[in-house]
């Protein structure tokens, strides 16, 4: 099922990108040498693990207050998402997918991690950001986590600094006034380094949960989460967690040896009891002997 969900996510991303970009590119626009419309040539999302996101980049939050990414770093991991608030389709899908995935996780924004949406459209305003936050909070349905959700707008310089560090590339079509862009989310360590990333418009809650545990360096999560990290490893080429055959075999061997040891102990214990009972019967005095 996980494999099917992964391919379904990839297919959904391709369809979303194709549909979204089709709105941006007029029919009379020519193709580039590699077969892509010119507006899509420089579009992509290729984050590098351990790359540092500039925490001093200045933005404005949904309430109109000046902030820096550093304000949300230091102790907890960060879920970072690039969208723009006037996007007609793909960004809304990403936002809903993020909220839906995080809603399935018991960790709470603000307590266990921070959620930061950054608009890559310099024309976006705090009013639009606040509207998006209200929509997200309504779907997430945990009012106490409001302080952990942040919707930011900023200047072109700040946007460029953060998106370039994440290797998130987009383009703007002047005629349609719409951005061409890819989709995905980043999980940052408390000090702002890229720990994990997931592409597309579907983010399996189990993968996101393990990613947050990883990004926090084990500071959040249950013993079960930490155990699962031994069995599942992050594959950056596929941007997901996968069970490693060697690890599973090793774990299976350990469990098998443990079961054998328990069985041997139980067998020896029963054998000892049976021997003790037999000896007790031999020690009883024989009746009628004179």
CATH number at residue 53: 3.40.30.10
d(CA 266, CA 268): 6
pLDDT of residue 231: 83
Q: Are 99 and 140 in contact (CB under 8 A)?
A: yes
Q: Are 159 and 84 in contact (CB under 8 A)?
A: no
For residue 147, being part of any structural domain is answered with yes
For residue 244, being part of any structural domain is answered with no
Instruction: Give Cα 2 distance to the centre of its chain.
Output: 15
Domain assignment of residue 157, given as a range:
15-26+34-218
For residue 199, being part of any structural domain is answered with yes
Closest CA to 182 of 278, 59, 38, 47: 47
- Residue 179 backbone dihedrals phi, psi, to 5 degrees: -90, 145
For residue 43, being part of any structural domain is answered with yes
Structure tokens, 269: 């214990």
d(CA 109, CA 138): 14
pLDDT of residue 226: 86
For residue 96, being part of any structural domain is answered with yes
Structure tokens, 262: 């328990």
d(CA 195, CA 212): 9
Strands 171-173 and 178-180: antiparallel
Q: What sign does the dihedral 93-94-99-105 (CA atoms) show?
A: positive
pLDDT of residue 84: 97
- Hey, how many other C-beta atoms are within 10 angstroms of the C-beta on 51? 14
pLDDT of residue 125: 97
For residue 247, being part of any structural domain is answered with no
What is the total count of domains within the chain?
Answer: 1
pLDDT of residue 16: 44
10-residue averages of pLDDT along the chain (290 residues): 41 41 38 57 92 98 98 96 94 97 98 98 97 98 97 98 97 89 96 97 96 92 86 89 60 61 70 63 52
d(CA 130, CA 149): 11
Q: pTM of this prediction?
A: 0.74
Structure tokens, 213: 């545990």
pLDDT of residue 257: 64
For residue 177, being part of any structural domain is answered with yes
For residue 209, being part of any structural domain is answered with yes
């Amino acid at each position: 099922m996980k494999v099917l969900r992964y391919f379904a996510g990839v297919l959904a991303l391709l369809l979303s990108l194709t549909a979204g970009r089709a709105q941006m590119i007029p029919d009379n626009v020519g193709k580039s040498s590699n077969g892509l419309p010119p507006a899509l040539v420089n579009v992509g999302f290729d984050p590098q693990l351990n790359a540092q996101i500039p925490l001093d980049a200045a933005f404005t939050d949904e309430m109109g207050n000046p902030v820096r990414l550093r304000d949300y770093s230091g102790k907890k991991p960060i879920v970072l998402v690039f969208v723009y608030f006037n996007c007609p389709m793909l960004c809304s899908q990403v936002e809903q997918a993020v909220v839906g995935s995080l809603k399935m996780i018991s960790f709470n924004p603000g307590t266990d991690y921070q959620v930061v949406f950054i608009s890559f459209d310099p024309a976006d305003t705090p009013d639009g950001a606040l509207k998006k936050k209200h929509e997200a909070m309504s779907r997430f349905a945990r009012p106490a986590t409001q302080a952990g959700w942040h919707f930011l707008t900023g200047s072109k310089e700040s946007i460029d600094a953060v998106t370039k560090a994440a290797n998130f590339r987009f383009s703007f079509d002047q005629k349609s006034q719409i951005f061409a862009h890819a989709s995905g989310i980043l999980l940052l360590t408390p000090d702002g380094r890229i720990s994990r990333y997931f592409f597309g418009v579907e983010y399996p809650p189990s993968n996101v949960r393990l990613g947050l545990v990883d990004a926090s360096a084990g500071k959040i999560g249950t013993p079960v989460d930490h155990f699962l990290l031994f069995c599942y490893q992050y594959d950056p080429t596929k941007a997901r967690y996968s069970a490693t055959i060697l690890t599973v075999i090793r774990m299976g061997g350990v469990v098998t040896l443990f079961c054998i040891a328990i069985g041997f102990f139980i067998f020896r214990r029963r054998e000892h009891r049976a021997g003790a009972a037999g000896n007790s019967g031999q020690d009883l005095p024989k009746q009628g002997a004179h």
